[in-house]
């Protein structure tokens, strides 16, 4: 994989592998399982306007992952999405950026990671009811699926 200008991976493939296998992969699996619990009937028929589609380009897996992670961070403030769900998605995005030593083009997005990593009991409120299906939820779910697929592809490359 080609080193991205936003990422400073260097030759730390071993560290990436260890962190992904022992920590990040479990978080991604948990997020995917959480996606299956929400209603997504509206996601099949609707065409998502202005939705960005990210591909996991060959030889550019790290850049693809960095773009996907940075794009997922914008859903952290979407109130129509369940708080637990978007909070978990932001955690995975921040973990992806941290493992790959990447930064987002827009620095404001990384502040989300600071907020996500901060534990504040006062603001933590568990949602008892899940929200209805909406376009933002569908986009986030699609992003999560793409992120997972790209990580699987990248894993096969770096874990040869």
Partner 1 sequence: MLKMTQMSTVLSIFVLFLRTTFGESGCTSADGDGTFVDDEPDNFDIDCFSQLEFKDSYSRLTCNFTELPPHNTNYTLALCTKEDGNYVCFNMEKQEDAYFLQFTDILSNKDICMDSETKRRVCRSLVVTDIVKPEVPFDINITYQKEANEYLIHYSTPHSWKKYLKDKLIHQIAYQKEGGTWKTIETPYLQIKLLGKNLENDASYEVKVRSKPNGDYFKGMWSEWSTSKSFRTAREQHSTESYNSMVVVILSILGFMLSIVMIVLVITFWENRIKPAVWPNLPDHKKTLEQLCKKPKNNFDISFNPESFGYVHIHKVDGIRAKAEVENFLQPSTALETNLTEKFRSGSDLKMNLAMTDKSNLNLSVTYGGIWPAEALNRLLGTNQFAVTEGNCSSSTYEVCHSNRVPLCDDGFNLPSAPLLDPSGQPGPESLNGDTISQMVPTSDMRSPNNEEAYVTMSSFYKIQ
Show the tokens assigned to 137.
Answer: 């939820």
Sole binder of partner 1 in the list 110, 131, 135, 149 (CB under 8 A): 110
Nearer to partner 1, 24 or 150 (CB): 24
Sole binder of partner 1 in the list 113, 133, 144, 147 (CB under 8 A): 113
Choose one: 56-64, 72-80, 95-103, 147-155; the region binding partner 1 (CB under 8 A). Answer: 95-103
Sole binder of partner 1 in the list 41, 44, 47, 107 (CB under 8 A): 107
Nearer to partner 1, 94 or 144 (CB): 94
Sole binder of partner 1 in the list 3, 5, 8, 18 (CB under 8 A): 18
Show the tokens assigned to 90.
Answer: 């932001």
* Residue count, binding to partner 1 (CB under 8 A): 24
Sites for partner 1 among residues 23-62 (CB under 8 A): 23-24, 26-27, 30
Closest approach of partner 1 to the CB of residue 71, in Å: 18
Nearer to partner 1, 43 or 155 (CB): 155
Q: What is the DSSP string of the chain?
A: -PPPTTB--TT-HHHHHHHIIIIIHHHHHHHHHHHHHS--HHHHH---TT-------TT-HHHHHHHHHHHHHGGGG-TTS-HHHHHHHHHHHHHHHHHHTB--SSHHHHHHHHHHHS--TTT----SSPPPP-HHHHHHHHHHHHHHHHHHHHHHHHT-
CA–CA dist 144, 44 (Å, integer): 16
Q: Which residues bind partner 1 (CB under 8 A)?
A: 18-19, 21-24, 26-27, 30, 88, 91, 94-95, 98-99, 103, 107, 110, 113-114, 116-119
């Amino acid at each position: 994989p080609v080193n991205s200008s936003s990422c400073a991976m260097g030759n730390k493939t071993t560290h990436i592998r260890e962190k992904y296998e022992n920590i990040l992969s479990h978080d991604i699996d948990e997020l995917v399982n959480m996606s299956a619990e929400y209603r997504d009937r509206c996601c099949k028929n609707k065409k998502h306007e202005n939705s960005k589609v990210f591909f996991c380009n060959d030889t550019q897996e790290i850049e693809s992952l960095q773009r996907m992670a940075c794009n997922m961070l914008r859903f952290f403030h979407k109130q129509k999405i369940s708080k637990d769900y978007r909070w978990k998605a932001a955690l995975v995005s921040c973990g992806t950026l941290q493992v790959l030593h990447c930064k987002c083009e827009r620095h404001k997005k990384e502040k989300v990671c600071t907020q996500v990593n901060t534990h504040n009991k006062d603001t933590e409120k568990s949602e008892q009811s899940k929200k209805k299906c909406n376009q933002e939820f569908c986009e986030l779910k699609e992003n999560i699926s793409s992120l997972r697929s790209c990580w699987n592809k990248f894993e096969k490359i770096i874990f040869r």
